[in-house]
Amino acid sequence: MQLVFATNNLNKLKEVQALIPTHIKLLSLKDIGCFEDVPETQSTIEGNAIQKAEYIKQHYGFDCFADDTGLEVDALNGTPGVFSARYAGEQRNANDNMDKLLSELSHKKNRNAQFKTVIALQFNNKQHTFTGICKGEVTSTKHGEEGFGYDPIFKPRGYNQTFAEMNLSLKNSIGHRGKAVNLLVNFLNS
């Protein structure tokens, strides 16, 4: 079986490849000759994931899946959410995004947050979605060198490390993307 993972984010690709069984060949957008920006214009995380998967199926004909992930902060009414990648602007800079979030939370006591990943699968001309959530809190400073995005400022519930301080296998076993990918894999294996 082969599936396209509709992402240009090499960090996401690496995380997901570590979770996909070897009998599923994972193709990247580069592998199928897709070099354009896949649209992400929906107002929800679910909507963006579905839009990306449908785009690849319609334009390239491959069974595929796409994900969208957002960090939802309680004290900010779920912000940055669907705008997580562009929170500090269209340059999509992780440090700028983290700095903006830390600034907005600087006087807030409630630092509870959750990462939410939705995977949309286009498979055998049907659509399926899988959601993974990891609850935790936003730290007051950045810690760690691993991971990407908001990982240096997100500490999952029950752990004393941020995602950026964890190795990939631990992050995948407890994280939002790992949970969603496991649901996807279970579906594909059934």
**Mean pLDDT, contiguous 10-residue spans, the chain (190 residues):** 90 86 92 92 96 96 96 97 94 95 96 98 96 98 94 98 95 94 94
Record the tokens describing residue 134, joined without a space. Answer: 């990891």
7 contacts 28 by C-beta, under 8 angstroms: yes
Active site residue 68: yes
63, 67, 68, 151: the catalytic one is 68
Q: What is the pLDDT of residue 8?
A: 83
Q: How far apart are CA 51 and CA 34, in angstroms?
A: 15
Closest CA to 135 of 48, 74, 83: 74
**Alpha carbons within 13 A on the beta-carbon side of 88:** 16
Q: What is the pLDDT of residue 126?
A: 96
Strands 25-27 and 2-5: parallel
Q: What is the pLDDT of residue 61?
A: 95
Q: What is the pLDDT of residue 18?
A: 87
Q: What is the pTM of this model?
A: 0.92
